[in-house]
Amino acid sequence: MQEKQSNGLVVRTTGSWYNVLTDGGETFACRLRGNFRIRGSKQTNPIAVGDRVVFQLLDDGTGFITDIADRRNCIIRRSTKLSKQTHVIAANIDLLCLVATLGFPRTSTGFIDRMLVTAEAYHIPAVIIFNKCDLYGADDELWQIHNEIKAIYEGAGYPVYAVSALTGEGIDDIKSLIAGKVTLFSGHSGVGKSALLNAIDPSLHLKVGEISDWSLKGKHTTTFAEIFPINIMDPKSDGHQKFSIFNSQFSTFLIDTPGIKEFGMVDFGSSELSHFFPEMRKVLHNCHFANCTHRHEPGCAVKAAVENGAISAERYQNYLNILESIESDAPIRR
Ligand SMILES: Nc1nc2c(ncn2[C@@H]2O[C@H](COP(=O)(O)OP(=O)(O)O)[C@@H](O)[C@H]2O)c(=O)[nH]1
Ligand SMILES: [Mg+2]
Ligand SMILES: [Zn+2]
């Protein structure tokens, strides 16, 4: 009898079992060999959804994972503030879609900026999707607010979309955006993530209007992300589905992260924070002091850019707020 070797994408984990989707579209329940470890890893889970793995298929139809491909990125969560151990939520993410709403509920720019900083720190490209745009209707004032926010974020380098999961407005743009990618959707409960995913792929049949996913679960329950392979055609392509990753029949994946309200900030020092604001990154080498915090130092290029309008005052204020929260946390983190 010969052991058959195969490879695929980890789409679901439950602790000791990993569901691996092969390029042929079959899913196998796999386990790890007891001594499997990633070199130098402090992580409680050596494998997460989004990992590419090699496994050996056993006679009973299950598999043994023997190897894991290097990760391009991964998002993690610290088990506790004091702990050095981390939990990998998902790996190899191509894009973060931050779903927000101007109203019902209103997403604060503080939340948006914390998520964007996290995405920068993880090296994950991010876009902002404003959902429920049908509610703006013909209200010019709401559209004006929308356009102001759009200008702020596009000025910082983040594409901004206006969509409605209800009417389908703008959904084709999102399909084009995510075709062939592994995309993580995040955002507050109630902004319409589930409705949006259903609008993208109606066969998902996700429950809409359920608050179960993000806010109600206890803070310390262990939750596992899940990847959904979806079938979409890029509306802007010439009819050929893009097969950018893995040459699989599935090339587009959505990641759902139940129970995870906000990803823990990566462990970085306060001096690194401004590097995670792309518009600050561009000018901070002109600051007089190399260790400038861009708060009160003379000759600060960031403050000068805020004063002349090149950097949004709101983004700058959010920078200061995050800076303060990092500094007040510092004794625990270090
Ligand atoms: N008017 C309007 N309501 C929406 C839209 N998308 C979602 N909703 C409503 O917003 C509520 C929350 O939606 P849901 O998808 O469950 O949000 P989630 O918590 O982010 O997954 C539900 O009552 C939806 O019907 C939209 O584009 N327009
Ligand atoms: Mg939902
Ligand atoms: Zn400065």
pLDDT in tens, 64-79: 999 999 999 988 876 6
Residues whose beta carbon lies within 6 Å of some atom of ligand 1 = 131-132, 134-135, 164-166, 189-195, 208-210
Same domain? For 47 and 155 the reply is: no
Cβ density class 45-79: b for 16+ within 10 Å, e for less: bebbbbbbbbbbbeeeeebebbebeeeeebbbbbb
How far apart are the CA of 302 and the centre of ligand 3, in A?
5
The backbone torsions φ and ψ at residue 128, rounded to the nearest 5 degrees and listed phi first, read -115, 130
DSSP state at residue 271: G
Structure confidence by residue, pLDDT tens digits, 221-255: 445 678 888 877 666 665 444 433 444 456 789 98
In this predicted structure, the answer to whether residue 282 has a pLDDT above a threshold of 80 is yes
Same domain? For 120 and 166 the reply is: yes
Structure confidence by residue, pLDDT tens digits, 293-324: 999 999 999 999 999 999 999 999 999 999 99
Same domain? For 213 and 169 the reply is: yes
Residue 37 CB neighbours (<10 A): 11
- Residue in 185, 180, 91, 181 with CA at minimum distance from that of residue 129: 185
pLDDT on residue 333: 38
Same domain? For 252 and 275 the reply is: no
Q: Is residue 80 part of a domain?
A: no
Q: Is residue 78 part of a domain?
A: no
pLDDT on residue 258: 61
Same domain? For 234 and 278 the reply is: no
If one counts the domains in the chain, the total is 3
pLDDT on residue 75: 85
DSSP state at residue 155: H
pTM, rounded to two decimals: 0.87
Structure confidence by residue, pLDDT tens digits, 255-280: 877 655 566 556 677 889 999 999 99
DSSP-based three-state secondary structure for 230: strand
Q: Is residue 334 part of a domain?
A: no
Of the listed ranges 178-187, 200-209, 256-265, the least confidently predicted one is: 256-265
Same domain? For 241 and 213 the reply is: yes
Q: Which of 98, 163, 166, 213 to mutate to test the pocket of ligand 1 (most atoms within 8 A of CB)?
A: 166
Residue 216 binned pLDDT confidence (cut-offs 50, 70, 90):
very low
How far apart are the CA of 187 and the centre of ligand 2, in A?
10
Same domain? For 102 and 236 the reply is: yes
CATH code for the domain of 317: 1.10.40.50
Q: Which of 256, 280, 295 is the last residue of a domain?
A: 256
Please tell me the residue having the least CA distance from ligand 1 atom 13. 192
**What mean pLDDT comes out for the span 1-14?**
83
Q: Is residue 81 part of a domain?
A: no
Secondary-structure breakdown of the chain: helix, strand, coil percentages, each rounded to the nearest 5: 30, 20, 50
Residue 230 CB neighbours (<10 A): 19
Same domain? For 240 and 126 the reply is: yes
Range of the domain at 223: 90-256
How far apart are the CA of 107 and the centre of ligand 3, in A?
28
Residue 81 CB neighbours (<10 A): 9
Average confidence score pLDDT of the chain = 84
Same domain? For 229 and 130 the reply is: yes
Q: Which of 204, 221, 256 is the last residue of a domain?
A: 256
How do beta strands 126-130 and 160-162 pair? parallel
**Ligand with smallest separation from the Cα of 284:** 3
Please tell me the residue having the least CA distance from ligand 1 atom 7. 192
Same domain? For 207 and 113 the reply is: yes
Residue 1 CB neighbours (<10 A): 5
**What mean pLDDT comes out for the span 98-121?**
93
Residue 144 binned pLDDT confidence (cut-offs 50, 70, 90):
very high
pLDDT on residue 209: 86
How far apart are the CA of 108 and the centre of ligand 3, in A?
25
Same domain? For 98 and 226 the reply is: yes
Which of 33-37, 61-65, 203-207 reaches the highest mean pLDDT? Answer: 61-65
**Ligand with smallest separation from the Cα of 131:** 1
pLDDT on residue 23: 82
CATH code for the domain of 138: 3.40.50.300
Same domain? For 146 and 231 the reply is: yes
Q: Is residue 43 part of a domain?
A: yes
